Structure 1
Amino acid sequence: MILPSHTENFQLSYSCHLYAFKYTAFLSLLAFFLQPSSIIQVEGNEIDKISLVAIKNMIIDDPFRIMDSWNETIHFCDWPGVSCGRRHRRVTVLDLSCLKLRGTFSPSIGNLSFLHVLKLQNNSFSGEIPSELGYLHKLQVLRLDNNSFTGHIPSNISGCFNLFSVVLSYNMLVGIIPAELGTLLKLQQLLLVSNYFTGGIPPSLGNLSTLDTFLASKNNLVGKIPDELCQLPNLKYFVVNENNLSGTLPPCLFNHSSMVAIDVGSNHIEGKLPPLLGITLPNLQFLSIHRNNITGNIPVTLSNSTKLQFLVAGRNGLTGKVPPLGNLLNVRRFLVAYNHLGKGEDDDLSFLTTLVNATSLELLELNTNNFGGVLPASVSNLSSELIELSLSYNQISGKLPRGISNLKKLEAFFGAYNRFYGEIPSEIGDLINLQELALLGNLLSGQIPISFGNLASLTRLSLRENNLRGRIPSSLGKCHNLELLDLGSNNISGFIPSEILEISSLSEGLDLSHNHLTGILQKEIGKLSNLGYLNLSDNKLRGQIPTTLGTCLKLEALDLNNNNFQGSIPSTMNNLRGLELLVLSHNNLSGEIPRFLKDFKFLQVVDLSSNNLEGEIPIGGIFNNVSVVSIIGNRNLCGGIPELDLPACSAEVKKEKKSGFPLKIVIPVVSGLIGLTSIVCFLGIPQLGGSRKAPVTDTPENSTIRVSYQHLHRETDGFSVSNLLGMGAFGSVYKGISEDDGTVFAVKVLDLSHHAASKSFLAECEILKNIRHRNIVKVLSACSSIDYEGNEFKAIVYAYMDKGSLQEWLHFTPQESHEHKKLGFLQRLNIAIDVACALDYLHNDCQPPIIHRDLKPSNILLDENMTGHVGDFGLARFIPPAIHNSSANPKTSTCVGGTIGYTPPGKG
């Protein structure tokens, strides 16, 4: 239950327990009262002291060492927590609250016959409540709340006939609520919250004419609410939520004009709300009937309860239209979700206009009803204190009001599964406190607003099942607290921005399924190390599944179904041991089914159907259950359990799988051949049998693309410093991502203030336009244009090299040492071969031949496979035919170029 603030404090501050009756204590107390009056004061004082010492001795843990002060050095009336009357010097108050004391409570408490107040709340006392409490006839306040007392409430508590406050909340008490409590005619507060009480509410409580507070929520009470409670003229707080009460609400309960709070939520109560509720309860501040079977309309008179702050009526069977609420100026929470309110008509939400003067409104939950019509623009004028607006699962139509940005404190906006259409207002991006936005299941169109990047507090964004188009804005990457991003089932196109894949807070899931996304799944996916599920199914993604996916260690579900992924299933997925669902069907995957999948203990579904997988199917684990494994549509699979009905694997397949010996023989042989080839390339020895044809790349010549300054500016985020890859003598190189298919590229922007930059640009274009070789950085395009400031702009677009330059691998700084592994001998040899073959091609297969003139590690770039590529031809030159064919003195060749103090091997 959510009570008004003063009631919350009252509820949390009280609780009480009672112990079993001890006959011996009764006899000692009786003997005490039979002493001569002249001795009573002295021995009474001594008995109080002895009783306090007995209480101390049963405390086994005293972290604040309060009991150390209970000693002979000071009078017991001055002990901490003890107060005595001035006249008789007898103990009247024992307050040991909030001291973290642990132990059982001594029956000697029954000897403190002058005790008025006993406060033990907020400790760790256990055991039963001493029945000796029944002899404390002067006791007025009993607080035992927030401990671990067990057992029953002693029935002889009726002996404490002066009690006006009993607080036993938050313990582990059992049994019924004693009917004897009905004899405590001075009782004003009875708080029994959060125990294990059974049975019904005693009708005898109707005798307590002074009772103003009865709190018994979170127990196991059954039966009806007694009509006798209607006899309590001073009752203000009646709270019995979270029990198993049934029957109907007594109509007379709503006739107490003094009533402040009624909470019967989470029971099995039936019936209707009284039509005159608002008139008979003018002081009502809190009304909760949620999770019951209440039917009928919300009374029209509700608005007369002008002090109402909380209406909690969700999950019932309420029907009809919500009446005008214009007089509820103090309402803070209006919660009527999960009912049958509204009639699907245009004026169903007209009552919202009457709430604009409720300046304290914080929560408005109308979801899961039958509300129809357009969301009125007046919703933008609701309280500036509103933190949640929930409209999901209704029949609301029209456009989302742009003025919703006025609700500056809004933290959650739920509008799912309605009939909203039109564009999502960009003004929502002004709601900087927004944490959850759910607009899924509507008819929304247009693009996702770029302004959503301003929602720094956003944790959940769900826009699935709409008609959204365009691209995913990279600005969403600024939502550094995002845990769920669901854009599935729209018409979104373009590539997946790398910025999205760098939101490390994504933990619940990333769902971009059922769209028209293209391009590759970039390696940045590995940065989502906390991701729970990834669904990219039914798109047009291509390329290989990135090996970095193996760093998403918390992944439980992976669905890449119906794309154009190719290559093998990465071995790094062996790390995804928490996978429960793996769907890679309807792609172009090849290679074998990884054997490690059979060891995934949590895997429940595997769908690898309609690919080009081959080889032996693993046996064991999930692969022993054909009902949860789908491999149909792979023609070259074999083996597996008999139920798969596949042919047995040939001896060659098994031998290839088991034997690693041939590889050990092949590696040295191949290495030797590669070494010989490198020597041949470096020496420039012609191939026997005639001239050689130039090795070419796999990409055809007509793959060159045309670009403009505008495209390059957008695709590099305005040549942002964050995309800067490096700087050279004639310009800077930036990383870009194609808007068309997500291809990553590098673009060198010439610094035309340098007098030789234009010459370098023309030379490089001239050199590279007709050469193609797998070891030469491929030029994708070039651009000569005017920038936004009217200045001349020249740039060359290259294929992107994932691993950077050889310089970075050979001479990395200590700060970079963790980012690179050291190059092994074979890697160095392979790169040398790559460079040698590139130079051999330039020198011997190009007509006319080309000399690079600036070959150095920083101009040798490495792709994702660590293949070397020669780049930066800004200083390269053609060798004139006369010089190339002449045996004249080498001094007749072109002048030396390149880096000062260094003569590269490319200098002919």
Structure 2
Amino acid sequence: MHNNNLSGALPDALSSCQSLMELRMDGNSFNTTIPVSISNMRGLELLNLTKNSLTGSIPEELGLMKGLKELYLAHNNLSLQIPESFISMTSLYQLDISFNDLDGQVPTQGVFSNLTGFMFVGNDKLCGGIQELHLPSCRVKSNRRILQIIRKAGILSTSVILVCFILALLVFYLKKRFRPLSARVEIIASSFMNEMYPRVSYSDLAKATNGFTSNNLVGTGRYGSVYKGRMRFKNSVSDVAVKVFDLEQSGSSKSFVAECKALSKVQHRNLIGVITCCSCPNLNQNDFKALVFEFMPYGSLDKWIHPDIDPSNPVKVLTLIQRLNIAVDIGAALDYLHNNCQPRIVHCDLKPSNILLGGDMVAHVGDFGLAKILTDPVGEQLINSKSSVGIMGTIGYVAPEYGEGGQISPYGDVYSFGILLLEMFTGKVPTHDMFSAGLTLQKYAEMAYPELLMDIVDPLLLSVENAWGEINCVMSAITRLALVCSRRRPTDRLCMREVVPEIHTIRASYVEKINKVVSD
């Protein structure tokens, strides 16, 4: 939206663009203050508001945008000091505040220590900073003698305050450390709901699902069951999926906490849409925990690839373009989790039963019960180091390094994605009885690549497609990509940012060939 005639105030509604990576509104005539709400744009990496008529101070809240890499605010009428919160922005490497009316001391840490990354010309009242900036020293207005007296008088009180502060921290730590898991779950669930999610009770969910009857049961998993329901939110009624956790199952409460934490940090069209959560006593005063999601009318990908799972509920066969579209959707979701949300997230349990198909067969990645939030700013620490991770995921899809105690990293999801691609296009589950005595799904595909790929194509796919030449081309490209993704060593695999354009290219090539055949 740069270089237009837009004017007035920057709209607060921009904060709803949670997945937006770049916002360029330079070269306009916006003439109010910078709205604090912009700091809520979690996915934003670049913000350019240069050459407007913005006034007031730079909001401190902008310094809380952990993923922001480039910030351009030059040629405005901004005043007051540079926010101290900018010092802690580890991701920020370009900051241009030139030609404003800023004053006060320039920090010396973070982006302010980078001569090429920090631009400030045209702010004559700035002082301090690193020596290389050649700014004047900041004047000390207070009398030095008075300051010395104040410091001496404050030593005793400061010491008392420091001791009290340390004791308070110790008490807080002990309470937090030894608080029962159920209490910690309540706090997490409460904070999750208070922000933007509607409150629902056990009675609300029981009513919506007809008392959690078997007629409303749509699936079961490791930590609970999923029921279809119908609920009213505000002025509309919609179908929902209610995931009820089996709290007698070991690890169920931790799974609930993990999903709450992960889902509260993400928002993407190819991730399952969470509506709210519930953590309260049921009618028998027993603990009850559930998550409420948007209902996915076409169920899980698992049932479409393997229709024999539920013979009573037959589904149509996925066409080649549908499988390619689903692969693109899954890739986009993982790319978002690994690269575009802050902090980054590793799913850790990617498999067909955790891929749900919504309207127009759009794929959504769900079940974040094993998801891990990466706290390391670099993202993935040492992927070959050892840890006590153990098996993280589902047999057949779990990355081999996890079984060997390797560090959790996005490359584990890439491995699972490679296995998923092979399963989608061959119709073979990686735990099939035929895979024994050293034979795996990958080796099965390697043996057929590239000459015999039509021998391993999913027979159901061949039953609905007759363009064998085009199928063979797609199989060749998909198999090559899947095998690279599922290599044994993590460092030999691609990352999702490299995988996504590959899938788009495969799909575009297929569509082009089909269109050419139709036109001929």
Q: Same fold (TM over 0.5)?
A: no
Which of 1 and 2 has higher RCO (CA within 8 Å, sep 6+)? 2
Who wins on radius of gyration, i.e. which is larger?
1
State TM-score, norm by structure 1.
Answer: 0.22
Task: Identify the structure with the greater strand proportion.
Answer: 1
Task: Identify the structure with the greater helix proportion.
Answer: 2
State TM-score, norm by structure 2.
Answer: 0.38
